[in-house]
Amino acid sequence: MSAQPPSSILPPQAPWDGPDTVFDALAGAWALARTIEGQATMTGTAVFTEIAQDMLKYREEGRIRLADGKEFDGHREYLFERAPGGFVVHFAETPPRLFHAIGIARDGAALAGSAVHLCTPDTYDSSYRFLPDGSFEIRHAVRGPRKDYLSATVFTRQGARPG
């Protein structure tokens, strides 16, 4: 059995060349796996579709399984808007409402960004990590009098990206 070379010398597989390339690399379909600590899991798909120049519509759909074993289907939508060095996320409402702005920077072999959103009286502390294997993760630590949980979602490319 031969030893694997260290990951630092493996060829890059990620579409994330730098902070300004992340937005374009999101377009297309992704498999998602989410854990909401102690409460639920979700598996499904997320699709980023271009709806205007510099604007992607994000829609996730999947099966949610609660800690007590109950299951149901769920979905969520956001709008992602290109911004220098990152993107801005809006709730998909009319008119769109700001969720947070993510500035992306190199963090070792990954690219990462974070933001805080106050949804009175609760606070969403969100982080995004774009990994060398081409996947990405979104974490929301939600704290306040009404909510106290960590939601962690891993996205892996599903099929070919539309050209």
Domain hosting 149: range is: 16-157
Rounded Cα–Cα distance for residues 63 and 97 (Å): 26
Residue 145 lies in a domain: yes
Domain count along the chain: 1
Task: Name the CA radius of gyration of the chain, rounded.
Answer: 17
Residue 163 lies in a domain: no
Residue 162 lies in a domain: no
Assess whether pLDDT exceeds 60 at residue 97: yes
In sign, the C-alpha dihedral spanning 102, 25, 29, 128 is negative
- Taking only the tens place, the pLDDT of each residue in 123-133 is 999 999 999 99
- If you average pLDDT over residues 14-27, what whole number do you get? 90
DSSP secondary structure, 13-32, as one string: --S--SGGGHHHHH-EEEEE
Residue 76 lies in a domain: yes
pLDDT range class, residue 162, cuts 50, 70, 90: very low
Residue 10 lies in a domain: no
We report the CATH number of the domain holding residue 78 as 2.40.128.20
